[in-house]
Amino acid sequence: MPRAAISPLDRPAQFLKSVGPKRAEQLARLGVRSARDLLFHVPRRYEDASTVLPIKSAEPGMEATLIGEVVSKGVILTRPGLRIFQAVIRDATGLIECAWPGQPFLDRSIRRGDLLLVAGPVRKFHRRQIQPREFIILGRADEAGDARGVVLPIYPSTEGLSQRQLRAILEANLDPLLEAIAPEEPFPPAQLRALGLPPLREALELMHRPASLADAERGRRRLAYEELFFLQLLHARAHHRATLARAGTPFVRTDALIGALYHRLPFRLTGAQTRALREIFADMTSPRRMNRLVQGDVGSGKTVVALFAMLLAVESGYQAALMAPTEILAEQHARTLRRLLADLPVRVVLVTGRLGAAERREVVQALAEGDAHIAVGTHALIQERVRFHRLGLAVVDEQHRFGVHQRRALAELGERADVLVMSATPIPRSLALTLYGDLDLTVLDELPPGRQRVRTTLRGPQSRAKIYEFVRGQVAEGRQAYLVYPLVEESEKVDLRAATEEYERLRTEVFPELRVGVVHGQMAGEEKDRTMRAFAAGELDILVSTTVIEVGIDVPNATVMVIEHAERFGLSQLHQLRGRVGRGAGASYCILVTDGEGEAARLRTFVATEDGFEIARADLRLRGMGDFFGAKQHGVPDFRHFDPEKDDDLLLRAREQARALVASDPELTAHPAFRDVLVSRYGEREKLYDVG
Question: CB under 6 A: which stretch of 84-92, 294-302, 411-419, 660-668 binds ligand ADP?
Answer: 294-302
Crossing angle of the two packed helices 302-315 and 327-341, in degrees rounded to 10: 60
Q: Letter for the amino acid at 146?
A: D
Residue 298 lies near ligand ADP (rule: CB under 6 A): yes
- Which of 304, 496, 523, 661 is close enough to bind ligand ADP by CB under 6 A? 304
Rounded Cα distance between 276 and 295, Å, is 10
Contact letters for Mg ion, residues 507-546 (x by CB under 5 A)? ----------------------------------------
- Residue 419 or 677: the one with the smaller Cβ distance to ligand ADP is 419
Looking at residue 351, what DSSP letter applies?
A: E
Which residue lies nearer to ligand ADP by CB, 300 or 442? 300
Nearer to ligand ADP, 303 or 545 (CB): 303
Window of 267-275, 369-377, 460-468, 480-488 that interacts with ligand ADP by CB under 6 A:
267-275
Handedness of CA 185, 177, 154, 44 (dihedral sign): positive
DSSP string of 267-311? SPPPHHHHHHHHHHHHHHHSSBPPEEEEEE-TTS-HHHHHHHHHH
Give CA–CA dist 282/292, Å, rounded: 11
Supply the DSSP symbol for 269: P
Binding of residue 332 to ligand ADP (CB under 6 A): no
- Report the residue number, 23 or 302, with the smaller CB distance to ligand ADP: 302
**Are the beta carbons of 421 and 399 closer than 8 angstroms?**
yes
CB of 153 or CB of 301, closer to ligand ADP: 301
Q: Smallest distance from the beta carbon of 401 to Mg ion, in angstroms?
A: 12
Q: Does 301 bind ligand ADP (CB under 6 A)?
A: yes
Find the helix packing angle between 327-341 and 525-536, rounded to 10°: 40
Residue nearest ligand ADP, Cβ-based? 301
Given the complex with ligand ADP, which of 208 and 575 has the nearer CB atom? 575
Asked if 300 touches ligand ADP (CB under 6 A), the answer is yes
Which residue among 54, 121, 176, 448 contacts ligand ADP (CB under 6 A)?
448
Question: Residue 299 binds which one of Mg ion, ligand ADP, none, with CB within 5 to 8 A depending on kind?
Answer: ligand ADP
What residues numbered 19-38 form the site for ligand ADP, per CB under 6 A?
A: none
- Cα 64 to the center of its chain, rounded Å: 31
Does the footprint of ligand ADP cover residue 399 (CB under 6 A)?
A: no
Instruction: Report the site for Mg ion in 11-50 (rule: CB under 5 A).
Output: none
Please choose which of ligand ADP, Mg ion, none residue 298 contacts, taking the beta carbon within 5 to 8 angstroms, the exact cut-off set by kind: ligand ADP
- Cβ atoms of 119 and 10 within 8 Å: the answer is no
| Near ligand ADP by CB under 6 A: residue from 273, 295, 326, 378 | 273
Report yes or no: 486 and 501 within 8 Å, Cβ to Cβ: no
Residues 371 and 373: their CA atoms lie apart, in Å, by 6
The contacts of residue 285 (CB under 8 Å, 6+ apart) are 250, 251, 252, 253, 312
Considering the complex, state which of residue 303 and residue 531 has its C-beta at the smaller distance from ligand ADP. Answer: 303
Nearer to ligand ADP, 105 or 267 (CB): 267
Q: With CB under 5 A, what is the number of residues at the site for Mg ion?
A: 2
Type of residue at 301: G
Torsion of CA 449, 340, 276, 605, to 10 degrees: 40
Q: Which is nearer to Mg ion, 226 or 554 (CB)?
A: 554
Question: Considering beta carbons, is residue 301 or 570 the nearer one to Mg ion?
Answer: 301
Q: Please state the separation of Cα 557 from the chain's center in Å.
A: 31
Q: Which residues contact 435 (CB under 8 A, 6 or more apart)?
A: 427, 635, 636, 637
**CA separation, residue 577 to residues 17, 300, 454, 572 (Å):** 54, 15, 11, 9
Minimum distance from residue 280 beta carbon to ligand ADP (Å): 14
Per the CB < 8 A criterion, the answer to whether 86 and 135 are in contact is: no
CB closer to ligand ADP, 300 vs 545: 300
Quote the distance between the C-alpha of residue 109 and its chain's center: 44
CA–CA separation, 244 and 690 (whole Å): 14
Min CB(397)–Mg ion separation in Å: 6
Residue from 299, 353, 584, 637 binding ligand ADP (CB under 6 A): 299
- How far is Cα 571 from Cα 594, in angstroms, rounded to an integer? 14
612-629 vs 571-578: helix crossing angle, rounded to 10: 130
Q: How many CB atoms lie within 10 A of CB 631?
A: 7
By beta-carbon proximity to Mg ion, the closer residue of 290 and 444 is 444
Work out what residue 448 binds among Mg ion, ligand ADP, none; the CB cut-off runs from 5 to 8 Å by kind.
Answer: ligand ADP
Q: Quote the least distance from Cβ 483 to ligand ADP, whole Å.
A: 22
Number of residues that bind ligand ADP (CB under 6 A): 14
Tell how many helices (H) and how many strands (E) occur in the chain: 23, 22
Beta strands in 342-429 (DSSP E): 348-351, 374-377, 391-396, 418-422
Instruction: Give the nearer residue to Mg ion in terms of CB position, either 482 or 682.
Output: 482
Contact status: 295 vs ligand ADP (CB under 6 A) = no
- What residue spans of 537-611 are helical by DSSP H? 571-578, 600-608
Binding mask 285-304 toward Mg ion (x if CB under 5 A, else -) reads: -----------------x--
Q: How far is the CB of 301 from ligand ADP (least distance, A)?
A: 3
| Stretch of residues binding ligand ADP (CB under 6 A), selected from 230-238, 268-276, 510-518, 605-613 | 268-276
- To ligand ADP, the closest distance from the beta carbon of 397 in angstroms equals 7
DSSP SS3 for 252: coil
Choose one: 23-31, 106-114, 264-272, 521-529; the region binding ligand ADP (CB under 6 A): 264-272
How many residues in total does the chain contain? 692
Angle at 455 between CA 453 and CA 461, to 5 degrees: 155
Radius of gyration of the chain (CA): 30
Are 52 and 117 in contact by the 8 Å Cβ rule? The answer is: yes
- Asked if 296 interacts with ligand ADP (CB under 6 A), we say yes
Binding mask 542-571 for Mg ion (x = CB under 5 A): ----------x-------------------
Binding range to ligand ADP, per CB under 6 A, among 213-221, 302-310, 633-641, 681-689: 302-310
Q: Name which position in 65, 173, 249, 270 contacts ligand ADP (CB under 6 A).
A: 270
- The minimum distance between CB 443 and ligand ADP, in angstroms, equals 12
In one letter, which amino acid is 257? Answer: L
Backbone dihedral angles phi then psi of residue 162, each to the nearest 5 degrees: -85, 165
**What's at 523, amino acid-wise?**
M
Give yes or no for residue 594 binding ligand ADP (CB under 6 A).
Answer: no
Which one, 324 or 506, has the nearer CB to Mg ion?
324
Q: Which long-range contacts (CB under 8 A, 24 or more apart) does 368-371 make?
A: 370/319, 371/347
Among 41, 221, 292, 302, binds ligand ADP (CB under 6 A): 302
Region of 36-44, 55-63, 292-300, 657-665 interacting with ligand ADP (CB under 6 A): 292-300
Query: Which residues make up the interface to ligand ADP (CB under 6 A)?
Result: 267-270, 273, 296, 298-304, 448
Query: Which residues make up the interface to Mg ion (CB under 5 A)?
Result: 302, 552
